[in-house]
Amino acid sequence: MIYTITLNPAIDKIIEVDGHLTKKKTNRVRKHEYDLGGKGLHVSNVMNQFGVENTALGFIGERNERLMLKILDEKGIHHQLIREPDKETRECIVILDDSKDGSTMITGAGFEISYERFGKLLSFIQKKVQEEDVVVVAGSLPPDMCMTQFEQLLMQIKQTSCFLACDLSGDALKKAVEVGVDFIKPNQHEIQDLELPKDVPLIGQLEQLARNIQYVVVSLGEKGCYMAHKDSIYKIMAPAVEEVNDTGAGDVFVGAFIAQLAKRAPLETMIRYAVGCSASKVTHRNCTDFDIEHAKSLFQQIKIKQVEVEQNALS
Ligand code: TA6
């Protein structure tokens, strides 16, 4: 089984404005819609598209539960979210305008998780997760969740010896690297959070991380990504597509990669699906949609090159 964990779930509100989004101007809304939000939930949605069975874990605020459940239902997300009474699932605002240079995102803070409810998640993991399972922990942490608590979660998952993938940033990413996980996907800015030696170039940093982590991906946006696996590092060039909304592209990458991992596909196939689906995602207006056939049609344009690791890059 594959489990995704979204500690800080969200409802995305996509707002389309006329013209270019401008300060000191009344920006008129052309249309708006609600979409699934939260990184782990997005990953679940991607795996559904690949027909990979999965269960979304995490929390849901009671106050706006109806809307969230409706969205989850429409997307066919199988979940066992734990209800936090008297709390509201955050809204993340995604603004699209006519500039065609990406979306603007304003994320809500989210709600605090009680010890009782957090304990429920830990005991679910202890009872259900098996060695052959995959757990994906993705997205920001709820306000006030301390690193000791987060470490407790990671250790509970690690105790099962399952494959643990993390899409995190900041201190949470640092903690994941410290305890040792199987997959990380920081972008070129988030990798700075790890405070690796500044004089070591990116390739050297990747090599260092890959000594303890099976798959290390550093995403470079529309330029593609680097991936380190076993003793090799690959530079992957993304296909050129017309960008409409880049929000969610990273989640699609992770979902497609893990779906292929679950299908035991070879590394090259995992990479092509992850990069192709992510590129397809940015051509769509909402934060979740992508098209597997479109992704396949982009495979030829995805260039994978093994990087020669020079000795001086590793010092
Ligand atoms: O990656 C896109 C997204 O999952 C949005 O749907 C939005 O809800 C946001 O990320 C949440 O990000 P965060 O890092 O705050 O968990």
Best-predicted range by mean pLDDT among 185-189, 200-204, 270-274?
270-274
φ/ψ of 92, rounded to 5, equals -115, 125
More confident residue, 298 or 308: 298
Tell me the average pLDDT across 296-309.
94
- Determine which residue's CA is closest to atom 9 belonging to ligand 1: 38
Q: Length of the chain in residues, anyone?
A: 315
Q: What is the pLDDT of residues 11-68, one digit of tens each?
A: 999 999 999 999 999 999 999 999 999 999 999 999 999 999 999 999 999 999 999 9
171-183: average pLDDT:
97
**Ligand 1 binding pocket mutation candidate from 59, 247, 278 (most atoms within 8 A of CB):** 247
- pLDDT tens for 221-237 read 889 999 999 989 999 99
User: Cβ(281) to ligand 1 under 6 A?
Assistant: no
| CA 199 to ligand 1 center in whole angstroms | 31
- In this prediction the ipTM stands at 0.97
Domains for the chain: give ranges and CATH numbers: 2-21+29-313 (3.40.1190.20)
Question: What share of the chain in percent tops pLDDT 90?
Answer: 88
Residue 272 pLDDT exceeds 90? yes
Regarding the beta carbon of 12 and ligand 1, being less than 6 Å apart is answered: yes
Structure token digits, residue 258: 């893990």
Tracing tokens 């027909």 back to the chain, one arrives at 51
Predicted pLDDT at 7 = 98
Q: How far is the CA of 38 from the centre of ligand 1 (A)?
A: 5
Ligand 1 within 6 A of CB of 38 = yes
Span from the CA of 67 to the centroid of ligand 1 (angstroms):
17
Query: Which pLDDT score, from 0 to 100, does residue 315 have?
Result: 46
Is 70 or 286 the better-scoring residue by pLDDT?
70
- Per-residue pLDDT, averaged over 192-216, amounts to 90
β pairing state of 183-184 and 163-167: parallel
110 lines ligand 1 (CB under 6 A): no
Question: 112 vs 310, which has greater pLDDT?
Answer: 112
Q: Is the CB of 9 under 6 A from ligand 1?
A: no
Q: Is 14 in the pocket of ligand 1 (CB under 6 A)?
A: no
Closest ligand 1 atom to Cα of 139: 16
Which strands, in side-by-side order, build the sheet including 163-167? Answer: 79-84, 54-61, 2-6, 134-138, 163-167, 183-184, 215-219, 224-229, 232-237, 303-306
Q: How far is the CA of 93 from the centre of ligand 1 (A)?
A: 10
Cα 166 to ligand 1 centroid, rounded to whole Å: 14
Q: What is the pLDDT of residue 198?
A: 79
Cβ-contact 276, 50 below 8 angstroms: no
Place of tokens 């779930």: 9
Residues 6+ apart with CB under 8 A from 178: none
Does ligand 1 lie within 6 Å of residue 247's CB atom?
Answer: yes
pLDDT computed for residue 313 by the predictor: 53
pLDDT grade for 193, boundaries at 50, 70 and 90: confident
Average pLDDT over residues 254-263: 98
The answer to whether residues 206 and 200 touch, using CB atoms and an 8 Å cutoff, is: no
Average pLDDT of every residue of the chain: 95
Instruction: Name beta bridge partners: 104.
Output: 95
Is residue 238 within 8 Å of 223, Cβ to Cβ? yes
Report how far residue 137's alpha carbon sits from residue 61's, in angstroms, rounded to the nearest whole number. 19
Q: How many CA atoms lie within 13 A of 298 on its CB side?
A: 25
Give 140-152 pLDDT, tens digit per residue. Answer: 999 999 999 999 9
Pocket test for ligand 1, best of 14, 41, 42 (most atoms within 8 A of CB): 42
Q: How far apart are CA 105 and CA 154, in angstroms?
A: 28
Beta bridge partners of 227: 217, 234
* C-alpha neighbours within 13 Å on the C-beta side of residue 287: 31
Backbone angles phi, psi at 57, to 5 degrees: -110, 165
